[in-house]
Chain A
Amino acid sequence: MLEAINLSKLYGRHEALTNLNLSVAPGEVFCLLGANGAGKTTTINLFMSFIKPDSGQIKVNNIDVSTQPGETKKYLAYIPENLSLYGNLSGLENLQFFVGLGGSKPDKPTSEQLLQSVGLQEEAIQKRVSQYSKGMRQKVGIAIAKAKKADNLLLDEPTSGLDPQASNDFAQLLQDMKQNKVAILMATHDLFRAKESGTHIGIMKEGKLIHTLNSNEITLTELEHLYLETMKTDKYVKAAH
């Protein structure tokens, strides 16, 4: 369960996030749409306690992130947009390292199986990550998140740079996690993926959540239209004030 209550964040005088309220229940996929600088990544960074909010509250499984950031990490898995791994280590070593930091120690066969389950070729597993493409690195990131078996998943534009096949595999992974009652918050530019994978869609602009939609109640065309209109005009931002 992920909750943001009246969440605000300032960078100097710039309001990166203003009174954000959202809630993602287990089995839900909340997709945040918006242009660059809309506040999507800031929202995720706040959930991950990479940064501190200026006001408001963030809860993960009903635990306050501000007061117990370490505790909330147990229930969170995270995949950033540009997943960086250690180039001098293999995919397998990277996976074992990051998963190991979370406290679990997957053995070699389990780790290999995990990597293969996200579509990484067997021969690539032992190769150093410096030889990986962006898509391959992203797959390792997905495997790391999957291995954590967390209740909540935060995704910051996870399909950026993935080929269509990998992107499709990723969508399948989201479906699996959704069925396993994982609460997923995903920042994305991909309207199609948001409509396909999301249960709820939020459109953000200038740090404000302008629209919150149930993805079953809107078509892709309508979503696209609403999104473009929101981006064009200031009326929603003013209204949000």
Chain B
Amino acid sequence: MLKLLIKKEFLNALRDTRLQVSGGILIVLMLTAVLVGKQGQNQLQKERAKAQSAMYDKWLNQGEKHPHSAAHYGQFAFKPKPVLSFLDVGLDNYTGISVFLEAHKQNEILFSAAQDSNGMTRFGEMTASLVLQVLLPLLIIFLTFNIFSKEREEGTLKLIHAQGLSMRKLFMGKVWGTYLMVLLIFLPVILLAYLLLDRQSSSLDSEVLLKFLTLTGSYAIYFLVFILLCVLISAFAKNSGFSLLTLMGLWIASCVILPKATTNLADKVYSTPSQFDFKNTVKSKVKNGIDGHNPSDERLASLKQEVLDEHGVKTIEELPVNWSGIAMQAGEEYTDQVYDAEFSKIEDIFNRQNRFSEWASFINPYLAIRNLSMALSGTDFQHHVAFAKAAENYRRDFVKKMNKDMEVNHKPGVAYSDYNVGEQMWASIEPFEYDLPSTSSIISNQWRSVTALAVWLIALFFSASLYAPKIPKL
């Protein structure tokens, strides 16, 4: 019975010229978005990998110099473009792509695409995610707004009911029939995306595949949620016009107004300090101590005494190690401590803002798929922070290595300019590499969005089962 209903809904929609045209346009849009997105992602990834390699070569070939000079000479870390980012650019256009790593300073990640673009970037790029999250639901609305009301208006609903079919079965037939149609539109996009991934075989490891499959599954659930919602509204709408108006209102609210309102509200509730304030706080705490009562000169004096006591000497000239190296590393570590404390406060605020949006998924499924899609494509805040932390850890490691070399090998009494190291030392620092968060860590971070989608699905199936028998037949 269900098969018969699905077949009818599917055939009826498939033969509708308006839907053939709109569905065709949507498929072309999505395929174009995927192709263009992939091309852009390949190009950016190549550029970043090339830049990363060129900067590392520059590091290796910086010539002989003092290790501390090398720590100031610094390195660059380029954020790799995640393989799946061609499906969803997420925050990538607004977060920077590279950071200069040097001694004493935690520099900002700079050069976001938005900085180089005009205001249109704010309206969003034509990406597969935009089409799948925003435009495909619009097609679902056109497929379903009169799925019941038209039958009621034309009288076919009476004839169906006369055959003894329960409204519950009819409802589910319409849902699955529409779903089949939507999957037919979704399938070419997924196939193309998979083929493009497959061609890039070196990157298609099991993690990427798992993320891709999870992303595909999430979208499939999102479409089903949207279809259930639309069919339910259509079933109880007085007429097709009212149904269309309601569904369009719902679409505008969920895809345009609520996401913006959620972001603004989250920003209002959990406001972030400006970058200027952040930097000033770090600077002040480094100078005056974390508690404000431990100035840097006192810390330095205390450390000096500790080192002298440790080596049983009275002056730094008598030390068997280089005092400057020790002092610089201690300064680094204190700055790191201050930075970590301040950065974790900022990270906490951003996380709270993101959690706010994730909780809002329970009232707007669009937010659930938007968050999940960005996360699985590797373009959300979690990925940006993961890159920032990886780059900062890399900076700390290489600066520490430079300071250690200075402490151990730069003998006291030897002039700064007389102690130099070369390529062997530079090569001991491995090139910067960054591993994307795993699928399990993404899912555990996004559990609210995953749960919200599941709750929407279950609640809608439950509502359909409960209310379908009450669908008016006349």
- Seen from chain A, the residues whose Cβ lies within 8 Å of a Cβ on chain B are 45, 48-51, 70, 73-74, 76-78, 80, 82-86, 88-89, 93, 97-103, 128, 141, 144, 148
The reply to whether B158 and A48 contact each other, CB–CB distance below 8 Å, is yes
* B413 is an interface residue with CB less than 8 A from chain A: no
* B294 is an interface residue with CB less than 8 A from chain A: no
Contacting residues of chain B (1-57) with chain A, CB-CB under 8 angstroms:
1, 4-5, 8, 11-12, 15-16
| B17 CB, min distance to chain A CBs, angstroms | 9
- Which residues of B lie under 8 Å from residue A73 when comparing CB positions? 161-164
| A86-B12, A88-B11, A89-B11 as given contacts; A98 in contact with B474, CB under 8 Å | no
User: Which applies to chain B's interface (DSSP): helix, strand, loop or mixed?
Assistant: helix
The reply to whether B161 and A102 contact each other, CB–CB distance below 8 Å, is no
Which B-chain residue is minimally distant from A71 (CB atoms)? B164
With A103-B164, A144-B159 known, 18 other A-B pairs at CB within 8 A are: A48-B158, A50-B161, A50-B473, A70-B164, A70-B166, A73-B164, A78-B158, A80-B158, A89-B8, A89-B12, A98-B160, A99-B163, A101-B4, A101-B160, A102-B164, A103-B1, A128-B15, A148-B163
Interchain residue pairs A-B with the least CB separation, the first 8: A73-B164, A101-B163, A78-B162, A88-B15, A84-B154, A84-B155, A102-B163, A100-B4
CA distance A99 to B158 in the complex (A): 14
| A70-B166, A73-B162, A88-B12 as given contacts; A50 in contact with B474, CB under 8 Å | yes
| B352 CB, min distance to chain A CBs, angstroms | 51
The contact string, 1 if C-beta is below 8 Å from chain A, for chain B 136-169, is 0000000000000000001110111111111000
CA distance A102 to B1 in the complex (A): 9
| A70-B166, A88-B11 as given contacts; A83 in contact with B155, CB under 8 Å | yes
The reply to whether B156 and A84 contact each other, CB–CB distance below 8 Å, is yes
Which B-chain residue is minimally distant from A76 (CB atoms)? B162
| B474 CB, min distance to chain A CBs, angstroms | 5
- Seen from chain B, the residues whose Cβ lies within 8 Å of a Cβ on chain A are 1, 4-5, 8, 11-12, 15-16, 154-156, 158-166, 473-474
- Which residues of A lie under 8 Å from residue B158 when comparing CB positions? 48, 50, 78, 80
CA distance A49 to B167 in the complex (A): 13
| A160 CB, min distance to chain B CBs, angstroms | 13
The reply to whether A101 and B156 contact each other, CB–CB distance below 8 Å, is no
| B419 CB, min distance to chain A CBs, angstroms | 85
The reply to whether A101 and B155 contact each other, CB–CB distance below 8 Å, is no
- Which residues of A lie under 8 Å from residue B159 when comparing CB positions? 78, 80, 83-85, 98, 141, 144
- Which residues of A lie under 8 Å from residue B165 when comparing CB positions? 101
| A88-B11, A88-B15 as given contacts; A97 in contact with B4, CB under 8 Å | yes
Which A-chain residue is minimally distant from B162 (CB atoms)? A78
- Which residues of B lie under 8 Å from residue A70 when comparing CB positions? 164, 166
The reply to whether B162 and A48 contact each other, CB–CB distance below 8 Å, is yes
- Which residues of B lie under 8 Å from residue A49 when comparing CB positions? 161
| A80-B158, A83-B155, A100-B4 as given contacts; A74 in contact with B164, CB under 8 Å | yes
| B147 CB, min distance to chain A CBs, angstroms | 12
Which A-chain residue is minimally distant from B154 (CB atoms)? A84
Most chain A Cβ neighbours within 10 Å, of B8, B15, B16, B154: B8
The reply to whether A82 and B155 contact each other, CB–CB distance below 8 Å, is yes
- Which residues of A lie under 8 Å from residue B8 when comparing CB positions? 86, 89, 93, 97
- Which residues of B lie under 8 Å from residue A144 when comparing CB positions? 159
- Which residues of A lie under 8 Å from residue B164 when comparing CB positions? 70, 73-74, 76, 101-103
Which A-chain residue is minimally distant from B12 (CB atoms)? A88
Which B-chain residue is minimally distant from A101 (CB atoms)? B163
CA distance A136 to B159 in the complex (A): 16
CA distance A97 to B158 in the complex (A): 14
| A98 CB, min distance to chain B CBs, angstroms | 6
- Which residues of B lie under 8 Å from residue A93 when comparing CB positions? 8, 11
| A17 CB, min distance to chain B CBs, angstroms | 15
Which B-chain residue is minimally distant from A145 (CB atoms)? B162
CA distance A34 to B158 in the complex (A): 22
Which A-chain residue is minimally distant from B16 (CB atoms)? A88
| B19 CB, min distance to chain A CBs, angstroms | 10
CA distance A89 to B8 in the complex (A): 8
| B385 CB, min distance to chain A CBs, angstroms | 52
Most chain A Cβ neighbours within 10 Å, of B1, B4, B5, B474: B4
